[in-house]
Amino acid sequence: MHARKLGYVDIGARGGASAEFARLRDRFDLVLVEPEPAEFHRLQRDSAAGTRVIGAALGHIDAMIDFHETVNPNCSSALQVNQDFLANYGIRPHFTPKSRTTMACRRYDTLFAAGGLPLPHAVKVDVQGFEFQVLSGFGALLHQCLSIQAETHFYPLYRDQRIFGDLVAFLADFGFVLRRLGNPRSPELNGDPHFEGDLVEVDAVFTKSKHWLTTQPDHARADFAIACEVFGVPAYR
């Protein structure tokens, strides 16, 4: 008997799913979310059969929102850049505003209710300061989510940004605990060269807690192990 597939939602999927995900691809139903039109169409064209590609931003509302493009497209965000915070860093020119557009924003729970998308068992979010709003848009579906990897910040790179502590508190209400912090530019988390040696930005991995796991049947434990593996954290002993 084949193990059931879990849902994997990659939000901010420019370039496609990560290499780390590829080795577990057959265990997941993949959803890629990328609102930039050219990249959306490329993902539609090049993704494996069965992959769903969403060409709208995900967030906390179903509405049109402003999108703030920067000179470096990797710094663009649904939030305005916090120039006051960035004033002391050499990376500031990358965040120089270029233009402002509007784009459709959708809640994941709204799209899920319409049909055709999997439960979000594993979620990866990299949306330049908008992570809190994106995860809010999953609503009660977060009760069924098992693992989350989110880029987050200790200081606000963007105006009105919800930072690391806000994310920890929000996810705790859905039974998540922090399992790992990482930064590819600083493996030991000993500062970040992009921010003059200050630790500003990290990837945070959350999973359901060990207490939660003790209450689950065997099939849920097996799902949890896969959801942990995809983000490189061990399932509890």
pLDDT in tens, 132-167: 999 999 999 999 999 999 999 999 999 999 999 999
Domains: count for the chain: 1
Prediction pTM value = 0.95
Tell me how far apart the alpha carbons of residues 229 and 118 are, in angstroms, rounded to a whole number.
19
| Residue 80 is assigned to a structural domain of this protein | no
- Which position has the higher pLDDT, 77 or 1? 77
Look at residue 96 and tell me if it is in a domain. no
Q: Is residue 84 part of a domain?
A: no
Domain presence at residue 235: no
Q: Residue range 17-25: average pLDDT? A: 80
Instruction: Please say if the pLDDT value at position 8 is more than 80.
Output: yes
Q: Which domain holds residue 46?
A: 6-61+107-229
Q: Does 4 score more than 90 pLDDT? A: no
Output the pLDDT for position 38: 87
CATH number at residue 130: 3.40.50.150
Q: Which of 150-178 are b and which e, b meaning 16 or more Cβ less than 10 Å from the residue's Cβ?
A: bbbbeebbbeebbbbeebeeebeebbbee
How, if at all, do strands 201-208 and 52-54 pair?
Answer: unpaired
In angstroms and rounded to an integer, the radius of gyration of the C-alpha atoms of the chain is 18
Handedness of CA 138, 140, 144, 148 (dihedral sign): positive
Of the ranges 35-49, 83-97, 111-125, which one carries the lowest mean pLDDT score? 35-49
Question: pLDDT at residue 1 above 60?
Answer: no
Question: Of all residues in the chain, what percent carry a pLDDT higher than 70?
Answer: 99
**Cα–Cα–Cα angle for 132, 78, 198, rounded to 5 degrees:** 65
Any domain includes 184: yes
Asked if residue 52 is part of any domain, the answer here is: yes
